[in-house]
Amino acid sequence: MVQVMFIYFALPMALPDFGIDALTAAVVTIMINFGTYIAEITRGAVLSINRGFREAGLALGVESVKVM
């Protein structure tokens, strides 16, 4: 809710030529929230890979990007 109010009220105050309607503010806020939520899920998944699995993949000759 605070994010919607920030985007709807504070952003036009900071950028005077930038007007935004309520629906656009809501959609942008939902997109930002979902983006950060998915990024956190991805970060947790990458950090959950055990060091031994990474080393085993590298020892087998798998590229570093593919090991992740």
Q: Residue 16 domain-assigned?
A: no
Q: How many domains does the chain have?
A: 1
Q: pTM of the predicted model, to two decimals?
A: 0.63
Q: Is 51's pLDDT higher than 80?
A: yes
Average pLDDT over residues 39-63: 90
Is the residue at 33 inside a domain? yes
Does any domain span residue 58?
A: yes
Residue 52 lies in a domain: yes
13 lies in a domain? no
Reading phi first (left if > 0) and then psi (alpha if -120 to 50, else beta), residue 61 is in: left
pLDDT, greater one: 55 or 16: 55
Model confidence pLDDT, tens digit, residues 7-50:
888 887 887 887 888 888 889 889 999 999 999 999 999 888 88
SS (H, E, C) the chain: CHHHHHHHHHHHHHCCCCCCCHHHHHHHHHHHHHHHHHHHHHHHHHHCCCHHHHHHHHHCCCCHHHHC
* Residue-range definition of the domain harbouring residue 28: 21-67
